[in-house]
């Protein structure tokens, strides 16, 4: 019974990571395309909040539940598909941390533009481009992790 609860929490956490990442990307992209500082400020506030409430919580729980599941199931963390998942999880985090900082900065720039009734500064556009670029490898890594968890393939050089 405990194993199934743990597995459920792990799967929900993975779903939250994937779903929140996709949702945040969608809403930020749509707000950016519209280019309205007031809308961007509001969306960015919500995105930053969602990242801290949902993404950060899932990020903290995934390794705990994942290691516990592996241990409970008799898998070694050196198993190829598990090692590959851990490596991709680290890659995802390496892209996510700067993205969070970028979102906070973009939010602050949009809020400042609204308060001063000014257009968005060039710094915002540059940050958005980096934010957008960082999303692709992070999202791809999460998709591959999902596949690894479902398929549990033999991974050459790690098995």
Tens-place pLDDT, residues 70-92: 999 999 999 999 999 999 999 99
**Closest to 22 in 3D by CA, of 151, 142, 146, 110:** 142
Distance between CA atoms of 69 and 4, rounded to whole angstroms? 9
Residue 159 pLDDT: 58
Q: How confident is the model over 92-99, as a mean pLDDT? A: 96
Per-residue pLDDT at 158 exceeds 70: no
The secondary structure element, H or E, covering residue 105 is helix 80-116
Q: How confident is the model over 147-159, as a mean pLDDT? A: 87
Residue 156 pLDDT: 82
Q: How confident is the model over 133-144, as a mean pLDDT? A: 96
pTM of the prediction? 0.91
Distance between CA atoms of 112 and 121, rounded to whole angstroms? 10
Q: How confident is the model over 129-142, as a mean pLDDT? A: 96
Identify each DSSP E strand in the chain by its residue range: none
Take residue 71 and report the two structure tokens written for it: 């241990």
What whole-number percentage of the chain has pLDDT above 70? 99
Angle (nearest 5°) at CA 80 between 156 and 74: 145
CB contact at 8 A, 5 and 67? no
**Closest to 92 in 3D by CA, of 62, 67, 54, 50:** 62
Per-residue pLDDT at 69 exceeds 70: yes
Distance between CA atoms of 155 and 113, rounded to whole angstroms? 50
Would you tell me how many other CB atoms lie within 10 Å of the CB of residue 39? 16
């Amino acid at each position: 019974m405990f194993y199934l609860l743990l597995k459920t929490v792990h799967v929900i956490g993975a779903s939250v990571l994937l779903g929140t990442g996709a949702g945040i990307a969608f809403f930020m992209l749509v707000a950016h395309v519209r280019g309205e500082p007031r809308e961007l400020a509001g969306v960015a506030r919500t995105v930053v909040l969602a990242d801290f409430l949902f993404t950060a919580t899932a990020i903290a729980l995934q390794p705990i539940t994942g290691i516990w599941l592996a241990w409970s199931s008799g898998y070694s963390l050196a198993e190829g598909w598990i090692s590959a998942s851990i490596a991709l999880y680290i890659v995802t985090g390496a892209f996510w941390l700067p993205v969070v900082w970028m979102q906070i900065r973009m939010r602050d720039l949009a809020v400042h533009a609204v308060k001063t009734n000014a257009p968005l500064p060039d710094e915002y556009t540059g940050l958005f481009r980096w934010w957008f670029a960082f999303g692709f490898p992070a999202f791809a890594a999460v998709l591959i992790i999902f596949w690894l968890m479902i398929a549990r393939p033999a991974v050459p050089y790690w098995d």
